[in-house]
Amino acid sequence: MLFDTHVHLNADQFEEDLEETIERAQEAGVQYMTVVGFDRKTIPKAMEIAERYENIYAAVGWHPVDAIDMTDEDLQWIEELSQHPKVVAIGEMGLDYHWDKSPKDVQKEVFRKQIRLAKKVKMPIIIHNREATHDIVEVLKEENAAEVGGIMHCYSGPVEIAQECIDMNFMISLGGPVTFKNAKLPKEVAKAVDLKHLLVETDCPFLAPHPNRGKRNEPAYVKLVAEQIAELKGISYEKVSETTTSNALEFFGIQSQ
Ligand SMILES: [Zn+2]
Ligand SMILES: [Zn+2]
């Protein structure tokens, strides 16, 4: 059994074959998923998918790349949606310094507003970090995000920062990069971080794990991530899949079925 904690089945790339993609996931043992909406287009689709499928949950937030577009109405909308029974987290949110569509100060402000919202509605947060590790940790500390905790999604930083995040009640979620031959840091994190703090994800349609690197990613491939973690830790695949699934169920507050 597996829980893919970060999917974008709401992306255009799955428009044609959503049903088949979900069937392939089930055949690979992926019983649960969280579909992440991050703007005016992907949030309604995430809600629609979560309402249609029993074991698919939703997270709603605003992506840092588009921070400059977020209005007070959008934030209000996210707050309303947080009350929906299938919504299990606020996000993805964070900082992305790779793209410069939104200035850093705007990204930080939108990030802070969403952390405050999550604290208000008492929900965990999902963090997107690209080339902004230092500032992310700083904002999380200043806003006391430890109060709600969250997920460092597709974590690719060093072990020491992972530990710092764990100390703030965050889970470390590993994705496709842990399977890449040249990805030193994610492999070190997979080895060093206790399994009780780890989650697995695909971030599909992006970042497909080896040997599917470069192709469209999909939830069935999360198995490759769990297998890689098992190999790196020198433990069984069953142990990794069972523990990361129960970690995710507990984190999102979902009763297993
Ligand atoms: Zn992301
Ligand atoms: Zn994402």
Report pLDDT digits (tens) over 124-142.
999 999 999 999 999 999 9
Distance from the alpha carbon of residue 6 to the mean position of ligand 2, in angstroms: 6
The pLDDT tens digits of the residues spanning 4-18 come to 999 999 999 999 999
Quote the CA–CA distance of 130 and 155 in Å, as a whole number: 10
Residue % of the chain over a pLDDT of 70: 100
Quote the CA–CA distance of 231 and 223 in Å, as a whole number: 12
pTM over 0.85: yes
Query: Which ligand is nearest the CA of 7, by number?
Result: 2
For the residues 77-99, what does the mean pLDDT come to?
98
Across the chain, mean pLDDT equals: 97
Quote the CA–CA distance of 201 and 91 in Å, as a whole number: 15
Distance from the alpha carbon of residue 8 to the mean position of ligand 2, in angstroms: 6
Distance from the alpha carbon of residue 153 to the mean position of ligand 1, in angstroms: 7
- pLDDT value for 255: 85
Distance from the alpha carbon of residue 59 to the mean position of ligand 1, in angstroms: 12
- pLDDT value for 257: 63
Distance from the alpha carbon of residue 177 to the mean position of ligand 2, in angstroms: 14
For the residues 35-62, what does the mean pLDDT come to?
98
101-to-61, 63, 111, 219 alpha-carbon distances in Å: 18, 12, 15, 29
Residues 6+ apart with CB under 8 A from 92: 6, 36, 38, 59, 61, 63, 126, 127, 128, 153
Residue 40 has pLDDT above 70, yes or no: yes
Give the confidence band of 153 by pLDDT, cuts at 50, 70, 90: very high
For the residues 214-235, what does the mean pLDDT come to?
97
Residue 256 has pLDDT above 80, yes or no: no
Quote the CA–CA distance of 201 and 136 in Å, as a whole number: 20
Distance from the alpha carbon of residue 129 to the mean position of ligand 1, in angstroms: 7
For the residues 48-62, what does the mean pLDDT come to?
98
Q: Please answer whether residues 46 and 58 qualify as being in contact, where contact means their C-beta atoms are separated by less than 8 angstroms.
A: yes
Distance from the alpha carbon of residue 46 to the mean position of ligand 2, in angstroms: 12
The pLDDT tens digits of the residues spanning 200-213 come to 999 999 999 999 99
For 183-244, list the strands marked E by DSSP: 198-200
Question: Parallel, antiparallel, or unpaired for β 150-152 and 170-174?
Answer: parallel
